[in-house]
Each structure stands twice: as structure tokens, then as C-alpha cells.
Structure 1
Amino acid sequence: MARAHRRLHPGISRHLACGPTDMHKSIDRLAALVQASFQLDPFSSCPFVFCNRQWDKLKILHWFHNGFWLYYRRLERGRFAWPEVKDAKTLIITRRELNCLLDGLPLEQPKVHRAVHARSAI
């Protein structure tokens, strides 16, 4: 899965479904959920991330060029540190936050080095 995530451009949005999702949903049903419930375009280059009620299974739906990718991850122990958001259906996260989530860490890491946007090497 790490290789596939390198394909995701750092500048694109990643949409995290805020509530639990039925992991029996296929590509078509997840795409319909994105379109109908979130009012977003499942055919954009943005990945959509879903988790089950027990927070131990995760799916990522991603349109790439001419078809969908569906990534699936099941934890054998532990749970994903899924954020609690009450007033929204989706949450936009960065690639770094997605990587934290996939590693079992909360989205906000107080001890992580912040990004530096250097303007000059001189």
C-alpha cells in the first residue's frame, strides 16, 4: 500500500468519512455514497477514506486515470485513531495525516517536526 500512496499528489485533498461506514460496500456503493451523501465527485483525483464501526477496518476509494483503486486494510490488533467530528460528513486531511492514521497514530501529533517551506539555500 505504501507504493500506491506515493502516487497521490501531495497537493490534493483527502476526504475522511467522519462516521463509520459499512465495509461490505463495494466500489460502486462507496462511489455512490461519496456523490449522494457527501456531494463530492468520486471521479476526482481525491481519495476517500472510510472506516468501520469497530475502527479496525479501513477502505480508501481513489479514482486514477481510467478506473477506481480500492485499498483495504484490516488490523489484527488495535484500532485506528479515527477523529471524532460531529458537525461534518467529511474531514479534509493531508497526506501526512493519512500516513499517521494508517500507522495507528492520531491525526494531530504534537511532537512531530513541522514542515519547513524553505525559500533559499543561501
Structure 2
Amino acid sequence: MLNLKQTSNVFLAAGSTDMRKSIDGLAIIVQMNFKLDPFSDALFVFCNAKRDKLKLLYWERNGFWLYYRRLEKGRFKWPNNSKDKVIHVTERELRWLLDGLDINQKGVHRDIMQRKII
């Protein structure tokens, strides 16, 4: 079962990915193109060119999870104009993306890192 709270890191593959790729093909992209470990505690997210399909790759203890989402109407607000091959996002930004929102929300309350009582 997908629990986004479990993942410490979420990485989006910038641009589009061939959705014919399965677990091994996506893991190779993570390892070779992103220079990241597909066996780490991270969730890797891929989108097709039409922006209506997503695949999520996640390693758990002894095997990979591969989640697939296809929208019947609408498109994901997938970041395309990044100079990087991979974009690190928060679990909150991934939820926005899955809900059809842009990951760069204007006016959102940011997390407070300083925790000090005055």
C-alpha cells in the first residue's frame, strides 16, 4: 500500500518518460541517469509525454513496488522546463501534483524549521 508519509525523499523525472518501461527499465534510469540508488528509501516518479499517466517506483525491504496512475480526463502539472534530469520534491508537493496542482504553489504556508519559543 502506498504511504507517502513513509518516504523520506521524492524525486521526479523531469520531462517525459517512456511508459512502456517496467521496474527494471525505470530502476536503470534512476541509477544511470539520475546517479541515485533505486534501492534507497526514496520514491521515484515518472510521467509520460501527454501528462496523463504516472509511474511511481519504490523499494520496500525485499522488492519493488510499481504504482501506475492513468487520468481519464485532465493532465498532471508536470515540471518540464527544468535544467536538471531529476527534481527533489516534498511529500506535500507530490500530493499537490497528484491532485492536479502545480508543485510551485504561490501563497502556501512554508514549513518552519526554527522551533524556538520566544
Match of 1:5 in 2: 3
- How far apart, CA to CA, are the structure 2 residues paired with 1:105 and 1:92? 17
Residues 117/38 of structure 1: CA separation in 2 closer, same or farther (3 Å cut): closer
Match of 1:97 in 2: 93
Contact 2:15 2:79 (8 Å CA) reproduced: no
Superposed, 1:1-122 pairs within 5 Å as: 4-9=2-7, 12-117=8-113, 119=115
In structure 2, what residue type is equivalent to 1:4?
L
Q: CA deviation at 1:46?
A: 0.7
In structure 1, what residue type is equivalent to 2:104?
E
Number of residue pairs aligned between Structure 1 and Structure 2 = 118
More divergent stretch after superposition (77-86 vs 54-63): 77-86
Q: Which runs of 5+ in 1 are unaligned?
A: none
Large movers: runs of 4+ above 3 Å:
116-122
- How far apart, CA to CA, are the structure 1 residues paired with 2:5 and 2:13? 21
- How far apart, CA to CA, are the structure 2 residues paired with 1:49 and 1:71? 9
Q: CA deviation at 1:120?
A: 6.1
RMSD: 1.8
Q: Which runs of 5+ in 2 are unaligned?
A: none
Describe the SS at the equivalent of 2:2. helix
Percent of aligned pairs sharing the same letter:
53
Q: TM-score, normalised by structure 2?
A: 0.89
In structure 2, what residue type is equivalent to 1:38?
F
